[in-house]
Amino acid sequence: MSSPATATGLPVISEIPALRAWRDAERVAGRRVALVPTMGALHEGHLALVDEARRRAQRVVMSIFVNPLQFGPSEDFQRYPRPLDRDRALAAARGVDLLFTPAVEVMYPPGSETRVVPGETASRWEGDVRPGHFAGVLTVVLKLFHLVEPDVAVFGQKDIQQATLIRRMVRDLDLRVDLVLSPTVRESDGVALSSRNAYLTPEQRVEARVLNRALRAADRAWREGGRDAAVLRRLIEGEFGLSPGVQPDYIAIVDPDTLSPVPVAVTGTIIAVAARVGSTRLLDNHILGREFR
CB 234, CB 259: distance < 8 Å: no
For the chain, what percent of residues have pLDDT higher than 70?
Answer: 97
Confidence of residue 172 (pLDDT cuts 50, 70, 90): very high
CB 177, CB 205: distance < 8 Å: no
- The mean pLDDT of 262-272, rounded to a whole number, is 98
- The mean pLDDT of 72-79, rounded to a whole number, is 74
Of 161, 154, 192, 198, the C-alpha closest to 293 is: 192
Better pLDDT: 83 or 6 = 83
Which one of the listed residues 46, 133, 146, 286 is annotated catalytic? Answer: 46
pLDDT of residue 71: 87
pLDDT of residue 291: 86
Confidence of residue 1 (pLDDT cuts 50, 70, 90): very low
Helix (H, G, I), strand (E, B) or coil at 114: coil
pLDDT of residue 112: 93
- DSSP per-residue letters across 15-75: SHHHHHHHHHHHHHTT--EEEEEE-S---HHHHHHHHHHHHH-SEEEEEE---GGG--TTS
- DSSP per-residue letters across 131-152: TTHHHHHHHHHHHHHHHH--SE
Confidence of residue 52 (pLDDT cuts 50, 70, 90): very high
pLDDT of residue 25: 98
Residue ranges of E strands in the chain: 12-13, 33-38, 59-64, 98-100, 152-156, 178-182, 246-254, 270-277, 280-287
pLDDT tens-digit readout, 99-142: 999 999 999 999 999 999 999 999 999 999 888 999 999 999 99
Radius of gyration of the chain (CA): 20
Distance CA 88, CA 9 (A): 10
- The mean pLDDT of 65-86, rounded to a whole number, is 84
Of 222, 203, 202, 204, the C-alpha closest to 214 is: 222
pLDDT of residue 234: 98
Sequence-distant (6+) residues with CB within 8 A of 190 are 209, 212, 213, 216
Of 44, 36, 93, the C-alpha closest to 64 is: 36
Sequence-distant (6+) residues with CB within 8 A of 244 are none
Is 286 marked active-site? no
pTM over 0.85: yes
- The mean pLDDT of 153-163, rounded to a whole number, is 97
- The mean pLDDT of 256-284, rounded to a whole number, is 96
- The mean pLDDT of 219-238, rounded to a whole number, is 97
CB 134, CB 67: distance < 8 Å: no
- The mean pLDDT of 214-219, rounded to a whole number, is 98
pLDDT of residue 2 exceeding 60: no
pLDDT of residue 5 exceeding 60: no
pLDDT of residue 79 exceeding 80: no
pLDDT of residue 8: 63
pLDDT of residue 3 exceeding 50: no
Confidence of residue 6 (pLDDT cuts 50, 70, 90): low
> Across the chain, what does the average pLDDT equal?
94
Torsion, Cα of 50, 157, 63, 7 (10° steps): -40
